[in-house]
Chains A and B, each alone.
Chain A
Amino acid sequence: MDYEFPDHLKYTSTHEWIRFENNIATVGITDYAQHQLGDIVFVELPEVGMVFEKGSNAAEIESVKAVGDLIMPLSGEIIEINENLADNPELVNSSPFGEGWMIRIKYSHLDEKDDLLSSEEYKQILQKEIH
């Protein structure tokens, strides 16, 4: 597979990635997910301060011919959103793990971290999904 899977990140089977720093989780969609959607034209992000359960839809990602969801990998409060995406949604395509990040969460349930996937585990799930 010609997709990137940075080792230092965690993943979900619904194609989100998560980076942890100081009890804050930064979340975006994976390289595979942005490829599947194609050229991203709009990202509808939640408002800062909103609280979501794990598994609920936090954002919608639109391409010309498809719509994808960003699903909360952890329960918690949105403390920051990537305002840059409003005018530059293409960042999700060009830099899915960097400038294309979407939300920062202050997560409330530590144990939910255990359910996240390593890059290797995510790669395996993806391989099954594709074949």
Chain B
Amino acid sequence: MKSNIPLIFEKGFDGEQQSFVPQMDVDMVDLNEILPENLQRKDLPIPNIPEVDIIRHFINLSLRNYGVDTGIYPLGSCTMKYNPKVNEVVAKLPGFTFIHPLQEESEGCLELLYHLSKLLGELTGMDGFTLQPAAGAHGELVGLLIMKKYFEIKGLKKQKIIVPDSAHGTNPASAKMAGFSIIELKSNEHGEVPLDQLEFAMLEGDIAGIMLTNPNTLGIFDKQIKDITRIVHDNGGLCYYDGANLNPMLGICRPRDMGFDIVHLNLHKTFSTPHGGGGPGSGPIGVVNELIPFLPEPCLISTKQGIACREKNDVSIGRIKAFWGNFGVIIRAYAYILALGAEGLKKVAQIAVLNANYLKVQLQQKYYLPYNRVCQHEFVLSDQGMPNNVTTEDIAKRILDFGIYAPTIYFPLIIPGALMIEPTETESKQSLDYFVEVMNQIYDEAKSNSVLLRNAPHNTPVKRLDAVLAARKPVLHD
């Protein structure tokens, strides 16, 4: 059976391909003279396809895809806010796109990087930043390597990291990549880190520190945050802030003031750079003064001659990506911060929290809300008590039928059947009301016609797909 849109490779023709490259204008020699025949390839199984067919193919594919520009994208912990169009224009200025990373005349780029570091420092309270990491998880790795180096230089053996069970999956995976083992801490009945257990865990002695997100993945601000960071510091550990959930804190409070030593930010979440269907992102790392020497290379400083790279030192963790980070992403975040300014950013946080609570109070009338408190940027429902044992997956798939995207499902792991909802500040009241209407209708359908949910979606280009078959007999290309 065929999918609706045939793979592009089935459109091949034998005609002459349109030429995009300049006419060859230098004298050629016989290729065999400059490349021995045994190093040349025999065939190249890539079709020639007319431009018009390529364009139609991708336009048709784009029509089967959903983005923030299509409608509400309430994917929890992903902060799918509107991506301002002026940022796309800015990032495509020739004075940025055509700049080589190794060219000398790049003051504009260096100034932008340096200035953005300063702005992020102001927003988070951190003393120094690197914009090198290409994504949030990449930033986590950098932050943990900084911890590793910090203790290595001090001559201390610290081999474990504490991660609460509500953490993003990248946290434990990153800690492992930096050579640490994990101690998982169970959240208490309020979804917070239990102080007594934290103290007990710290007594083990070889704990390098803790990784936390606050507000946590339940959307709850941990009131005891200062006690948590104090306990870790008192026992010689460092505190790492997973900034995936920074959006509701902009201009409200700062990770540094909560007691954190290392912070990563997701520019593709909080600072509105488009997620691109999975990337590219950018995951800057901010640190307190004491950790600045450990930041990766290259590290920018301001000198009398302008912005320059710090001299290489012995304690930096080294290089973590070629060249200068995902500069094209960084430009967009910089433009976003400049456009919004102090008051605009604070409004982002306020309205993100307003929108989340607005959805929460209405949805909790029908859906089960395990942690019933004022939430910050997001909240988590569960399929517990759904009529006719309708599951979270059924709900999510049915949501798609209404032409909107589903929330994050089955995460955080501490809530079975979790539905994690983050509307962001850029959704209008009308858009939120529509989401509530859809969710209420789905609940009623679960009662009256649950088969409709179990077989959902019905209005999408394909129906529910067989993930088991895909994993048992992987087909990864044609």
Contacts and interface: CB of A to CB of B under 8 A. Distances in A.
Are chains A and B touching in the complex at the 8 Å CB cutoff?
A: yes
Contacts of A42: 471-472
Interface string B404-418: 000000100000000
A41 B472 contact: yes
A54 B472 CA distance: 30
Interface residues of A, number: 8
B410 A90 contact: no
Main secondary structure of the interface of A (DSSP, over half): loop
B410 A41 contact: no
A39 B410 contact: no
A89 interface: yes
Contacts of B410: 65
A131 to B, nearest CB: 14
A69 to B, nearest CB: 16
Contacts of A65: 410
Contacts of B471: 41-42, 62, 64
A30 B410 CA distance: 24
Interface residues of B, number: 5
Nearest to A64: B467
Q: Which of A41, A42, A90 gathers the greatest number of chain B CB atoms within 10 Å? A: A41
B468 interface: yes
Main secondary structure of the interface of B (DSSP, over half): helix
Interface in B107-123: none
B411 to A, nearest CB: 11
A62 B468 CA distance: 11
Interface string A39-52: 10110000000000
Nearest to B410: A65
A123 to B, nearest CB: 23
A65 to B, nearest CB: 7
Interface in A52-70: 62, 64-65
Nearest to A90: B472
A64 B464 CA distance: 15
Contacts of B472: 41-42, 89-90
Contacts of B467: 64
Contacts of A39: 468
A40 B471 CA distance: 9
Interface string B122-159: 00000000000000000000000000000000000000
Interface in B375-429: 410
Interface in B423-474: 467-468, 471-472
A62 B410 CA distance: 17
A90 B469 CA distance: 11
Interface string A72-115: 00000000000000000110000000000000000000000000
A41 B471 CA distance: 6
Contacts of B468: 39, 41, 64
Contacts of A41: 468, 471-472
Contacts of A64: 467-468, 471
Nearest to A38: B468
A93 B10 CA distance: 38
A41 B468 CA distance: 6
A65 B410 CA distance: 10
B396 to A, nearest CB: 13
A65 B169 CA distance: 13
B472 to A, nearest CB: 5
B165 to A, nearest CB: 15
Contacts of A89: 472
B434 to A, nearest CB: 30
Contacts of A62: 471
A65 B470 CA distance: 13
Interface in B230-247: none
A39 B466 CA distance: 11
B178 to A, nearest CB: 21
A62 B467 CA distance: 13
Interface in B179-211: none
B467 to A, nearest CB: 5
A107 B468 CA distance: 35
A42 B471 CA distance: 8
B80 to A, nearest CB: 23
B204 to A, nearest CB: 21
A19 B468 CA distance: 29
The 8 closest A-B pairs by CB, nearest first: A41-B471, A39-B468, A64-B467, A41-B472, A64-B471, A64-B468, A41-B468, A89-B472
13 contacts: A39-B468, A41-B468, A41-B471, A41-B472, A42-B471, A42-B472, A62-B471, A64-B467, A64-B468, A64-B471, A65-B410, A89-B472, A90-B472
